[in-house]
Amino acid sequence: MAATDTTRARPPGTPPPPERPAGAPARPLIGLGAAARMLRPVRARLIACAVLSAAAAAAGVVPFVAVAEIGRTVLTAPGAAAAAPAVWAWAGAGAAGAALRLLLLGLSTHIGHTADAEMLHHLRVRIVRRLGVLPLGWFRAAGSGEVKKAMTDDLEAMHELFAHTLGGMAGAAAALLAGVGYLLSVDPRLALITLAVPLLSVLAYRIGMRSSSPHAARLLAAEGRISAASVEYVDGIGVVKTFGGTGERALGRFDAAMREHTGAYRAWAAENRTTSAVNRVLGSETAVLGVVAAAGLGFVAAGRLGAADLLPFLAVGIGLPTAVAPALVHGAHGLRTARMAAGHIAGLLSRPPLPEPERPRRPRGHRVEFDRVTFSYDGAANAVEDISAGCEPGTVTALVGPSGAGKSTLAALLPRFHDVTGGAIRVGGVDVRDMASRELLASVSPVFQDVVLLRDTVAENIRIGRPEAGDDEVRRAAKAAQVHDVVMRLPHGYDTVLGAGGGGLSGGERQRLTIARAILADAPIVVLDEATAALDPDSEAAVQDALAELVAGRTVIVIAHRLHTVSGAHRILVLDQGRLAESGTHPELLARGGLYARMWRAQYDGDRA
């Protein structure tokens, strides 16, 4: 036996994840930097979108300026005839500004949404590719809610940033600058007074948002738990309905997440309710009107401002907060949300993939060797510890033991759902970490108790085992798995589309479909994880016949709770609390009178009773 490899690092020369630039920290920055990196592929178009939005907003100010100037002209001109040319000129300018605003806004929207669609496609492809190289154990730990949040909630936040927020904020800033510039040209003093009101509103908003980051992080974390709980509840709704429940117990985690979200929102609202009220009051047209009217009439009475010069502030100044404040406030909120979403997506994209060896080695044969294997999920307690055993080709090795003994964990380490934290697992004398993952997975066919069928045809569900297989090969695999006759009774035979629930197939029939996959894959190593545990006797008999075809001549590892199903195994490994308690054949283990014998007597006496 080769020397124990207890300190083995990841294969040398493993390249860093392509999504993280060289030298970048492993933990993504939760800030605009993550969003900025995601914008790179469409940065030029987003800049064009922002520039066009700004130009459109500036053009949108022209009609209001035209109204104010027409009023000033009429009030100051000596007669209607003298005022007419200027009035018509300003009317034309106002109409041209409105038309130009519509044109530029349409172009900006088109460019922004095109860039948004391309960017979201790019991000979805990156996320899916990253998911495709992550260790399979990560999915069991993270759950579908983590993926759902990234693919829906976070991308929706990024959509708002790409398609709406950036252009809206650029337009609001341009409208503010254009309006303030015009008012300064009329009367700088009153312009500054007019501008002071929305500035105080912004100051109140900034004070209220000073602690937004921790509150937003708490809200987003609660939303992630709500998403995960929702998916979990929907996945388990069949069980709830089957037992006539209302689902209240199943909704416990959902309720807790909702209460956390509500509590976080209330805490945030309670903290900034005063500044929020001040912001709303100062950002209203009424507040601006009151300040402009009082100051303007005071200037007029003191002879510092002509009565006609008050019109621009009433026509343009009062409308600025209404036109600008919502876009800036919503934009700031959108930026915060997008920042958090970008950080979450960046965190997912930066997760280390399954390490691939720089120079993959090919196994010599298909003997499976567990060499002092140790593994921990959390880095603290070991799920399995110091397990050594060999599984010879053409033999069946059974893993038995109490619940939580580490049976499924040990089996999951073979196809690298996780990497061992100590020791080594070898196939044909080669450490599985030194094999290309594609070759390793092609060498192992797992059949689990939980059957997963894709929303696709029966043929394609079987063909997952070997995508290039022809129709005849698919049918031969189905016949070998004792499921061909079942398929032919379906409405469209092998072209019948199965849903998530199996399209009306029984549990045993769905299980035989997965066995057909494994038969088609023709992998030399087979892992059976409680493949018949949930079946009735008739279905179990059919599945056992199918398994007999699958395991012939292969290296087989079987996990079982019902000991009579593995009593004929060539070797039985008895696990207890993550360690190998004993091993041997069925008669040898019964003769020892240890844990296996006690488990056998308990099951036998229970069955006899």
Q: Which range, 19-23, 306-310, 368-372, 560-564, has the best average confidence (pLDDT)? A: 368-372
pLDDT at 302: 87
pLDDT at 251: 64
Whether 49 and 167 have beta carbons less than 8 Å apart is answered as: yes
Same domain as 445, residue 345? no
CA atoms within 13 A on the CB side of 93: 17
pLDDT one-digit tens code per residue, 138-148: 776 665 667 77
* Strand pairing class (422-427; 430-431): antiparallel
Answer with the residue of higher pLDDT: 108 or 344. 108
Same domain as 378, residue 313? no
Rounded to an integer, the average pLDDT of 325-337 is 73
pLDDT band at 56 (very low <50, low <70, confident <90, very high): very high
pLDDT one-digit tens code per residue, 240-279: 555 555 555 556 767 777 777 777 777 777 766 677 777 6
In a domain, 23, yes or no: no
The domain tally of the chain equals 2
Same domain as 526, residue 434? yes
In a domain, 15, yes or no: no
Answer with the residue of higher pLDDT: 13 or 455. 455
Token pair for residue 163? 């398609």
Whether 310 and 66 have beta carbons less than 8 Å apart is answered as: no
Task: Report the candidate in 175, 186, 191 with the shortest Cα–Cα distance to residue 292.
Answer: 191
Same domain as 293, residue 397? no
Burial class (CB in 10 A: 0-12, 13-18, 19+), 596: buried
Q: Cα–Cα distance between 264 and 259 in angstroms, integer?
A: 8
**62 Cβ partners below 8 Å, 6+ apart?**
93, 94, 96, 97, 98, 100, 101
Same domain as 280, residue 217? yes
Task: Report the candidate in 505, 503, 495 with the shortest Cα–Cα distance to residue 463.
Answer: 495
Residue 444 dihedral angles phi and psi, to the nearest 5°: -125, 130
pLDDT at 233: 65
pLDDT band at 200 (very low <50, low <70, confident <90, very high): confident
Whether 499 and 555 have beta carbons less than 8 Å apart is answered as: no
Same domain as 334, residue 477? no
In a domain, 258, yes or no: yes
Instruction: Say whether 105 sits in a helix, a strand or coil.
Output: helix
DSSP state of 418: S
Same domain as 393, residue 338? no
pLDDT of 504 > 90? The answer is no
The domain spanning residue 534 has which CATH number?
3.40.50.300
Domain boundary among 314, 349, 384: 349
Rounded to an integer, the average pLDDT of 42-64 is 90
CA 500 to chain centre: 20
Answer with the residue of higher pLDDT: 369 or 222. 369
In a domain, 263, yes or no: yes
Domain boundary among 322, 349, 376: 349
Q: Order of strands across the sheet with 422-427?
A: 384-391, 368-375, 422-427, 430-431
Answer with the residue of higher pLDDT: 142 or 10. 142
pLDDT of 81 > 60? The answer is yes
Answer with the residue of higher pLDDT: 161 or 497. 497
In a domain, 3, yes or no: no
CA atoms within 13 A on the CB side of 458: 30
pLDDT of 7 > 50? The answer is no
Same domain as 36, residue 113? yes
Rounded to an integer, the average pLDDT of 112-116 is 87
Rounded to an integer, the average pLDDT of 406-423 is 89
pLDDT at 95: 95
- Cα radius of gyration rounded to whole Å, the chain: 35
In a domain, 108, yes or no: yes
Q: Cα–Cα distance between 411 and 397 in angstroms, integer?
A: 11
Q: For the chain, what percent of residues have pLDDT higher than 70?
A: 79
Task: Report the candidate in 379, 388, 446, 363 with the shortest Cα–Cα distance to residue 419.
Answer: 379
pLDDT of 501 > 80? The answer is no
- Average confidence score pLDDT of the chain: 79
Q: Which range, 174-188, 216-230, 273-287, has the best average confidence (pLDDT)? A: 174-188
In a domain, 14, yes or no: no
Whether 486 and 505 have beta carbons less than 8 Å apart is answered as: yes
What residues make up the domain containing 545? 368-608
pLDDT at 574: 94
| Total-model pTM | 0.60
Same domain as 268, residue 188? yes
Residue type, 108: S
Rounded to an integer, the average pLDDT of 151-177 is 83
pLDDT band at 236 (very low <50, low <70, confident <90, very high): low
Whether 501 and 454 have beta carbons less than 8 Å apart is answered as: no
Token pair for residue 289? 């009107």
pLDDT one-digit tens code per residue, 346-382: 888 888 887 888 899 999 889 999 999 999 887 778 9
pLDDT at 537: 62
Same domain as 281, residue 141? yes
pLDDT band at 91 (very low <50, low <70, confident <90, very high): very high
pLDDT band at 18 (very low <50, low <70, confident <90, very high): very low
In a domain, 329, yes or no: yes
pLDDT of 527 > 80? The answer is yes
Task: Report the candidate in 278, 276, 293 with the shortest Cα–Cα distance to residue 194.
Answer: 293
pLDDT at 417: 85
pLDDT band at 572 (very low <50, low <70, confident <90, very high): very high
Residue 387 dihedral angles phi and psi, to the nearest 5°: -100, 125
pLDDT band at 580 (very low <50, low <70, confident <90, very high): very high
pLDDT of 1 > 60? The answer is no
| Euclidean distance between the first and the last CA atom of the chain, given in angstroms as a whole number | 46
Rounded to an integer, the average pLDDT of 522-531 is 82
pLDDT of 431 > 90? The answer is yes
CA dist 296 to 12, 19, 320, Å? 75, 58, 17
pLDDT band at 303 (very low <50, low <70, confident <90, very high): confident
pLDDT at 211: 62
Token pair for residue 596? 């296996």
The domain spanning residue 319 has which CATH number?
1.20.1560.10
Same domain as 418, residue 327? no
pLDDT band at 554 (very low <50, low <70, confident <90, very high): confident
Residues β-bridged to residue 427: 368, 430
Same domain as 433, residue 397? yes
Domain boundary among 286, 320, 349: 349
